Amino acid sequence: MAAADTTDLRQAMIATCRRMNETGLNQGTSGNLSVRCGAGFLVTPSSLPYERMTPDDLVPMDFGGRHTGPRRPSSEWRFHRDILAARADVDVVLHTHSVYATTLACHHRPIPAFHYMVAVAGGPDIRCAPYATFGTQELSDHALAALDGRLACLLGQHGQIALGRSLDHALWIAGEVETLARLYLQALVIGPPPVLPDAEIDRVIERIRRMSYGAAPDDDETATAG
């Protein structure tokens, strides 16, 4: 996509960021968002409140880590770059510090298949990556490993990452992860809940795929955000 054609995408990114905060998935400037765009990607800038963000504030980057424009990219640009470079199946990377997912992440606790909707992340669990300092290559490497074959992961003592084919898809995944994290924490009050077998999660994944579960009406398997 040529630079002159990105205004609608930039506006949609800002709207998604504001929805993250409005729905309680994020607080303040702590989260960040990127979308594949042409030969590179657009990423939210560092330390700018979403309510003040304008389309020109979104930062174009290439996969060599170079950026243009008046703003500095998010401090987490490395995992945005590395995930988009490694994952041709997704076009959006969304990172939040949602409360319940982050609570589990503070204990480095993955989410097992205690509920069938864990399958929305693509496997029988939602992994938790080990802790690493924010913005580092080490954190990016941990995130890539935790996201192998998955559309979401937790980041130890940090937050969550959700991936999607579109902005709506990634936001939906992040919302489901947060709901699952809340349910899991509540279930643990009674005791460790039973876990569904991998074969059942495989069946659920296939049904989700066939139903385009969680996709917007105009979002199909081949849709791209950029």
Q: How confident is the model at residue 89 (pLDDT cuts 50, 70, 90)?
A: very high
Task: State the pLDDT at residue 2.
Answer: 40
Q: Could you tell me the residue range of the domain that residue 18 belongs to?
A: 3-211
Tens-place pLDDT, residues 24-60: 999 888 899 999 999 999 999 999 999 999 999 999 9
Beta-sheet pairing, 59-61 with 125-126: unpaired
2 against 186, higher pLDDT:
186
216 lies in a domain? no
State which H helix or E strand residue 16 sits in.
helix 7-22
Question: 87 pLDDT exceeds 90?
Answer: yes
Percent of the chain with pLDDT over 90: 87
Catalytic residue numbers read 76
- C-alpha span between 37 and 9 (Å, rounded): 9
Q: How many CB atoms lie within 10 A of CB 125?
A: 18
| Mean of the per-residue pLDDT values of the chain | 93
Q: Are 74 and 154 in contact (CB under 8 A)?
A: no
Task: State the pLDDT at residue 29.
Answer: 84
Closest to 151 measured CA to CA, from 173, 184, 183, 180: 173
Tens-place pLDDT, residues 111-150: 999 999 999 999 999 999 999 999 999 999 999 999 999 9
Question: 171 pLDDT exceeds 60?
Answer: yes
198 lies in a domain? yes
Q: Are 121 and 177 in contact (CB under 8 A)?
A: yes
218 lies in a domain? no
Mean pLDDT on 72-101: 98
Instruction: Provide the CATH number for the domain around residue 17.
Output: 3.40.225.10
Question: 142 exposed, middle or buried (CB, 10 Å; 0-12, 13-18, 19+)?
Answer: buried
Question: 103 pLDDT exceeds 90?
Answer: yes
Q: Provide the H-helix boundaries in 36-106.
A: 77-86, 99-106
106 lies in a domain? yes
State which H helix or E strand residue 142 sits in.
helix 137-146
Tokens standing for residue 128: 């938790």
What's the number of domains the chain is made of? 1
DSSP state of 219: -
Residue 139, φ and ψ in degrees, nearest 5: -65, -45
Task: State the pLDDT at residue 217.
Answer: 46
Tens-place pLDDT, residues 196-226: 999 999 999 999 889 877 665 445 433 333 3
- C-alpha span between 54 and 36 (Å, rounded): 19
Q: At what angle do helices 167-190 and 99-106 cross, to 10 degrees?
A: 60
39 lies in a domain? yes
220 lies in a domain? no
Task: State the pLDDT at residue 211.
Answer: 87
145 lies in a domain? yes
Closest to 96 measured CA to CA, from 177, 7, 186, 150: 177
119 lies in a domain? yes
